[in-house]
Every structure is written in C-alpha cells, then in structure tokens.
Structure 1
Amino acid sequence: MRTSDFNFDFSFNLLAYHPTQERDESRLMIIHKKNHLIEHKLFKDLYQYFEEGDTIIMNNTKVFPARLFGNKEKTDAKIEVFLLRELDPIDRTWDVLVDPARKVRVGNKLNFGCGLTGEVIDNTTSRGRIIQLNFNGNHKKLIKIIKKLGKTPLPKYINRLPEKNDKERYQTIYAKIEGSVAAPTAGLHFSKHLLKKLEIKGINLVEITLHLGLGSFLPVEVEDISKHKMDSEKCFIEKNICNIINKSIKQKKRVCAVGTSSMRAIESSVSSKKYLNPFSGWTNKFIFPPYNFNIANCMITNFHMPKSTLLMMTVAFAGYDLIMKAYKIAIKEKYRFYSYGDVMLIL
C-alpha cells in the first residue's frame, strides 16, 4: 500500500483542543471486525464488552514535562527546546528539537532561568540538536529543576498555552514510570470508576511500559510505506505480565491492547509459538498492512490524522475498507479527533 492510500477528507474543526469534562464520557465507536457492525457508545460503556478472564494491556508510561523555554545569550531571542531523550547523564547531553531552528546553531548558549543553562554542541536534523545542560547540582537536582521549568508537552496542533488541568489530563490515571514526551492517548479515557468496574468483573488489567517519543507522530514522507523508518523507543515487559496475557491467549479470551504504543510493545517480543516474551530494550517496530497480529485480538485507539503511522497500524488490525468506512462515519457524526479526541474499540 502507498502513503496516499491513507489520506481522507478531514476538517480541522474536528480536532479536540480540550479534553472532555470527565475522562470516561468521551464518545466510543465500537467496530466489529467479523460482521462490520458499528455502534456508538460512551467510553464508560466499555466494561460491557469484556468478560471474566479477558485481559486489557495498558501502557503505564508517564509524560515528562519536556518543553523548555529559554533565551539566547547576547541576542536574548526566545527559543523553545523540546527534550526528546537524555543521551548521557554524566555529560548531561540531551537530544532535543528547537524552534525556531534557524536561530539555533552549534556554539549558541541558552539561558532557561533558575540557574539552568545549555550549550548547543551538535546538529542532528533540520530541527534537531544535541544540547549540553549546565546546572550547579547533581543529576537528581538537574532533573528536579527541569521538571520545575518544563511545561506539559501538548501536541503542536493544540496551539494554546497549557492550562491548569493539562498537567493532570494529558496523563493517564495509571501513569507510573516517567519517560514519555507524548501521552499514550487511548489510555486517557480510563477513569478510576471504570477501572474498578472492569476489575470487579474479573478482567485482568495489566501494565507494560513503552516510552513514547515523537516518532509515531512524525509525517510519513515517502510514498512507499515500507521505506518509512520509525524512531526507537524504550520498552519494558515483565515476566509476570506475560504469564497473565499468555493465559488469556491459551484460553481464547479477549486480549485488548490499549493504544498503538501497547500494540507496538507486545508485537516487539513474540515467541515462535505466538506467545508474549519478557522484554527490556528498544523497539522501532513499524506495523502497517498487511500484518498478522500475534498477541492482541482487540484494540482501543483514538481517531488519527490522515497518512499517519497510527492510522496505518489501525488499518492493519481491522482492514482498510472497514476503517475507512468508520472514519467517514466518525467525520459525519462529528467525532473528535487526535490526542484529546474520542476513541474506538475494535473487536
């Protein structure tokens, strides 16, 4: 398939700039793969589609306040620095994106306030730089000051300043392990009340970790999708979690991946017998059609943008015609798209 196959007519009026008032009151489209039936519910109705012994896999990564704002030394020009990943805690070097990139060159020094400064030591891409941070304190204190100064890294399409509730709402309620620069957005819809309902019903709620970078959200710039390369992301899957998931697989129960990040994680560590193996490392798994999924037979995912890798994975899971039909209905019914948007359950 070609990248252009994943384009569709889309109105930017459907982009969700704010979350719903309550997490589990976002709209939920139910898509049945076998008979192509489509239902319209609310996310709080999710528990109705699962039974005792089913397993729901959630990504417990926690969003890091990765957006810093500083000033160039001498010119005082305002620069935004987006921290992608720490490269070396001893040298205090970070892989970052800068904006405006044309104003940031190797050798430039930046002042972020509170004693935190940085120096650009290398270029990586047109917007990418390697920055060495300087702070009078140990690594723990450095991270603490970054968290104090850093802002919630809302997606660029949300062209507003972060609001008071963004710090909480751009984070799943089960977020535990810090390391992502973007939220696993399919999980944003879960409330404590809904998780309790699922637990009482005997559904296994298990957690894996995949720290999201910006790679999943970057545009596909080649027409032949097989030539697209995903950025590597750090992933952890524990043995006891594998045991629970594999038991559901053996019992032919429902195994549901919450979001494309959870799906990418579990598909990165599959045994020869199609069971899940423990994993600790990096994955650059890119799932696009055609693809045979090994672990999950059910998926929860938000409504994605045209020609995105996230849409490509969704199509691989449910089929091109069915997903394109669902997206046409979503647009007609004014479902909300992207990070703070509505969600689909594919069964």
Structure 2
Amino acid sequence: MISLSDYTYHLPDQRIARYPLAERDQSKLLVYQNGQIAHRQFSDLAASLPDKSILFFNDTKVIPARLLFKKETGALIEVFLLDPVAPASLVQQAMEVTGEATWHCAIGNLKRWPVGTCLSLQHQTLTLEATLADAEKQRVTLRWTPEHLTFSEVMVETGKIPLPPYLHRDAEESDKERYQTVYSQAAGAVAAPTAGLHFTDRVFSALDERSIRRDFLTLHVSAGTFQPVKVANAAEHQMHAEQVIVSRANIENLLNANGPIVAVGTTSMRTLESLYWYGVKLIDNPQAAFLVAQDEPYQLPCELPRDAALEAVLQKMVRSGVDRITGSTAIYIVPGYTFRVCQGLITNFHQPASTLLLLIAAFVDEDWRTIYQAALRSDYRFLSYGDSSLLLPKKG
C-alpha cells in the first residue's frame, strides 16, 4: 500500500511557471547533497557536481503533435498524436514515413467526427487529410501531398507544440524553441524532458572544464507523463509505456564510469534503471525482448550486481551485431524501489500526487518534503518551465 495522500503538497497557482525565463541557465538550482540543501543558479551546475560525474541526457525532440481541423459546420476537431500504428510502430521509423500513416490519438470533440469522414488541412502547397479509422481505438489515418514529404516534415508545417495542460495556455511561436532542449535530436516526444531545458552552451563549456562527461540516450516522452494518479493506493496506478533507444556506447560508458552516474531528468533515470532490469531478464532468458513492465522491478530477482546486468545487455548487442537497441519501458519507480544505476538526478519540481513526485520520494526518501518546502519558501518556480534541482542522496 502506497497512500497517495502521503505524497502531496500545496502548490499555489502563482508558483507554476507559465513561461520560461529569458535565459535558460539563469533558473534557480536547489542542490541537495548528503541531506544538506544549498541554493544556487543553474549556471553553477558544473561546480555543484561531484568529481568524475557522468551525465546522461535524453535527446528526444518534441513533435508538434496537436492537429486542429475545422469541419464545414465550423466544429473544431483536435487530433493529438499518441503512438504510431502503421506502417511503422516504432516512433523513429514512423517519423520518416511518407504519404500515409495511421496513429493512435486522443481526439477532442470525437462525437462530432463520424467514422470514415475525411477532414482536411491546407498549409501553402501542403495538404493533410485525416480520416477517423476506428472511433473506439481512436485511430486516425493521415494522408498528405506532396507524398514525398516525411511525416516529420508534415508535422513541422501543420502541427502545434503540445504544451502541458497545467500551463493553461496555447503554444506560442517562442515555445517552438523554448519547449525543446538545445541538444534535442530524435523526433518523437509529445512532452519535453524538462530537466534539460536549462542547459546552454555556456553550461556545457563549464562541464567540459571540469572534465565532467556526458552521454545521450532516448526516451520518447508520452502524454502519459501528465496522467494523474487517481487511486488512493498509488501502487494500483496503471503506468504508461514509452519507447527507449540505447546505444552500445551508452552501456560501455556506464560500465566504465568511475564516478557518480547522474540522470538528467526522470526520463533518463527511468531509462537507465530499465537497463538493469533488462539485463536481469537476459541472464534468465538470452532471447528476452527489451520490455520492462511496471511491476517487474518488484518481482524479478534483484541480487545481480549492476555491472553484470549491464554486461548482459552489452553482450546481447554484440551477439546481435547491433549498435543500438530499441525497447519499451513502463517502469514505475515508487517509494521502496532500490536504485541500481543512478546516484544523482537533475530534475524540475513536480506536481503533487504525481508519478514523478513518487519517483523523487523513492530517490531521496522522506527528504522530498523538506526539499519541496525549501523550494516553496525560496520562491522557486515549479513544473515544466520552472526551476531545477540537483539531487545527490546520502550514500548507503
């Protein structure tokens, strides 16, 4: 039993950052290390990290996943892309599809859109048509001309950036840049890995000066990240699955780390921890697929050393002759979870009673409340466009 009421707090509306600061790295940085709290600026991150740290970033890129169609009657239909269905179900491949694609979507005003009805969007020389293929499964088939354009190119021209619902505003032109990390590469997320929004070239240069290494993996953040926990016992919450892409170099860098492994954001942390559990599964079954269910970390054998699990993943890649693997994780990190890979976390301040706050509580134990109270007292800005924290819990 994990009582959700134990993981809530009062977040005044005025503390939610509706817009980012003018400069990314001028946000506040709360540093929590060995039980002590210090207040700094994000531009001071390099000086705040332990020697020989290695940072792991999520390089996913937010796609303009909101499509707005207007019927001849004037009714607005919103199509919010969630997961690709055909001809490719892997996000990376789906973004390169040309001509036609079917996606699982969240549809606004669904009752006004009969199955089989075609809606159309015109943007300069580009035409995008949407047909409701399956109302129950909310599957939409999209076709476009010119057909040689990739789906990614079509979305850039016709879609809108999907801001978090708690911002209570529509996306503006500036959000196209500011709701992306400066290092985003792999298009496919419908929400930004917001811990990374604070990084700038200036911060990266400071990290280089301290010889703090960095590496990039991918988790395509889904809309499920905003899904509220609606059950009193948080353990009963149904976690969302997300696609992850990990390279052989990622595994080698983890194995060769001689300092703290610091995840930049909860999505990077969930990816890194999922790798351990995939390794555990491979020891038992060398043919196991890269799929981590939400309950597996609490059911699988857990005595395997971290490096043995990571080595199992590396050897699987070597045997398969691949440099990267694509998988899916629904890992649900809640109080009681034992962290296998990560020793540090850079993250924003999260909503009360959310899966993200449960992860924070799992990482820093009861100190989460002290950290959040300190941030509220010190006028920190909260949520996606808010301030940041560096969490380095006590060892052992």
Specify if TM > 0.5.
yes
SS at match of 1:140: coil
CA deviations on 1:301-346 (whole Å, 9 max, x unpaired) are 1100011100000110011x21111112222222111110011110
Q: Which runs of 5+ in 2 are unaligned?
A: 89-99, 280-303, 315-324
SS at match of 2:235: helix
Q: Could you say if the C-alpha distance between residues 98 and 292 of structure 1 is closer, same or farther in structure 2, counting changes exceeding 3 Å?
A: same
Q: Which residue of 2 aligns with 1:20?
A: 21
Alignment of 1:1-347 (within 5 A): 1-32=2-33, 34=34, 36-72=35-71, 74-89=72-87, 92-114=101-123, 115-124=127-136, 129-138=138-147, 140-248=149-257, 251=258, 253-270=259-276, 271=279, 272-275=304-307, 276=310, 277=313, 279-319=325-365, 321-347=366-392
Q: Could you say if the C-alpha distance between residues 297 and 142 of structure 1 is closer, same or farther in structure 2, counting changes exceeding 3 Å?
A: closer
CA deviations on 1:48-88 (whole Å, 9 max, x unpaired) are 1235532001001111111111113x423112211112211
Q: Could you say if the C-alpha distance between residues 13 and 88 of structure 1 is closer, same or farther in structure 2, counting changes exceeding 3 Å?
A: same
SS at match of 1:221: coil
CA contact (8 A) 1:57 1:206 kept: yes
Query: How well do the aligned residues superpose, as a CA RMSD in angstroms?
Result: 1.8
Find the aligned partners of 2:12 and 2:112 in 1 and give their Cα distance: 33
Moved over 6 A (4+): none
Q: CA deviation at 1:210?
A: 0.5
Q: CA deviation at 1:37?
A: 1.1
CA contact (8 A) 1:50 1:254 kept: no
TM-score after normalising by structure 2: 0.81
Q: CA deviation at 1:142?
A: 4.3
CA contact (8 A) 2:31 2:48 kept: no
Q: Could you say if the C-alpha distance between residues 138 and 111 of structure 1 is closer, same or farther in structure 2, counting changes exceeding 3 Å?
A: closer
Of 192-201 and 139-148, deviating more is: 139-148
Letter in 2 for 1:301: T
SS at match of 1:68: strand
Q: CA deviation at 1:103?
A: 3.1
Find the aligned partners of 1:328 and 1:307 in 2 and give their Cα distance: 15
Find the aligned partners of 1:57 and 1:141 in 2 and give their Cα distance: 29
Q: CA deviation at 1:141?
A: 4.2
Q: Could you say if the C-alpha distance between residues 202 and 334 of structure 1 is closer, same or farther in structure 2, counting changes exceeding 3 Å?
A: same
Find the aligned partners of 2:225 and 2:151 in 1 and give their Cα distance: 28
Q: CA deviation at 1:104?
A: 3.8
Q: Which runs of 5+ in 1 are unaligned?
A: none
Letter in 1 for 2:185: K
SS at match of 1:92: strand
Q: CA deviation at 1:244?
A: 1.4
Q: How high is the sequence identity, in percent, across the aligned residues?
A: 36
Of 46-55 and 1-10, deviating more is: 46-55
CA contact (8 A) 1:89 1:139 kept: no
